[in-house]
Amino acid sequence: MHTGFHHVNKRKRLFEKGHEPYPSKSKWKHILDKSAYSIGIIGPVMTIPQLLKVWIEQNAAGVSLISWIAYLFTALFWLTYAISHKEKPLIFMYIAWIIVKIPLIVGIIIYG
């Protein structure tokens, strides 16, 4: 039994062995596959208010440098994972997260 999102390359390999094809013939799974890019944008965009607070107000009070550095390292790990598995939605999403996290960390260091 499969749970969660099916990875593109995994499904391609499984299809060669007689498993589910990619892109999926299931409308629901096809929508999930396509919406992954939108979700990959929404998450980092939701961090922009935090970024603006730090840079425009020049105030990093209450923003944890250690947490954001840890988030950056996890994003770098998942980007490496996504690249190694050629998962385009994940690559796209974690690049977006890294683009948001680096200036936030720099702002925390400068204004914290």
- Domain residue ranges of the chain, discontinuous segments joined by +: 8-111
Element (H, E) at 92: helix 88-111
Q: How buried is residue 75: exposed, middle or buried, by Cβ count under 10 Å (0-12/13-18/19+)?
A: buried
Report helix, strand and coil shares of the chain as percent, to nearest 5: 75, 0, 25
d(CA 45, CA 40): 9
3-class secondary-structure state, position 23: coil
Cβ contact 79:95 at 8 Å: yes
CATH class given for the domain over 8-111: mainly alpha
In this prediction the pTM is 0.72
Model confidence pLDDT, tens digit, residues 34-88: 888 888 889 899 999 999 999 999 999 989 999 999 999 999 999 999 999 888 8
